[in-house]
Amino acid sequence: MSGNEKTSAGRKKYQGANQEGPARRSPYPMSRLAPVIELVDLAREIGEADKLLNVRVSAKLKVIADQIRGLQQEARAILDEARRDQELNHARCNFQRKPGHVYHLYEKEDDRRYFSMLSPEDWRGNPPHTFVGSFRLENDMSWTPAEEADKPDETAALVDRLLLHHSSPR
């Protein structure tokens, strides 16, 4: 047959090289016993692959969305803490504030707030103005509520463990 010969159905017959190598690597069936590959089967396989891809991508995006929500909550908490610290920094104080000391915040009838070194107990439970709370001034000039001041800082311990583990020879 020459390159221009046609089959009985009127189509041009393929004249290129045949599959070389083992039949298991052939892109098409090499035996009449091989399963028939239908276009519908290929479409179904592609559909399944797309479905699994969508599930995987959706799961990853959900993790990212959860992380975003967590970061937003953390950002709100940081902003709330900054607002509180700013209000405490602007409270009246007739003495020099020193980091590490606990100061007691009171509020007068006209909503003005001030710090005192005297706790409500020092006033024998009858302070001259409304007691708001006690706060410890930190080295970075931030404020920690007195009830949280004695709690151990788990973050610092975790960082120390990570640094110790990372710096140890392997």
Query: Helix, strand or coil for residue 114?
Result: strand
Predicted confidence at residue 133, as pLDDT, reads 95
Helix (H, G, I), strand (E, B) or coil at 130: strand
Whole-number Å distance between alpha carbons of 74 and 51: 35
Residue 151: is its pLDDT beyond 80?
no
DSSP class of 92: B
Q: How confident is the model at residue 169 (pLDDT cuts 50, 70, 90)?
A: low
Q: Tokens standing for 92?
A: 């009246």
Helix and strand counts by DSSP (H, E) for the chain: 3, 4
Strand order in the sheet with 113-116: 113-116, 102-107, 130-137, 143-145
Q: What is the pLDDT of residues 93-123, one digit of tens each?
A: 999 999 999 999 999 999 899 999 999 999 9
Structure tokens given for 150: 């004695």
Reported as type and span, the H/E element at residue 29 is none
| pLDDT for residue 1 | 44
Across all residues in the chain, what is the average pLDDT?
85
pLDDT at residue 16 greater than cutoff 80: no
Q: Across the strands, what pairs with 51?
A: none
pTM above 0.95, yes or no: no
- Give the per-residue pLDDT at 81: 94
- Determine the average pLDDT of the residues in 131-157: 86
Distance of alpha carbon 136 from alpha carbon 97, whole angstroms: 10
Amino acid at 135: F
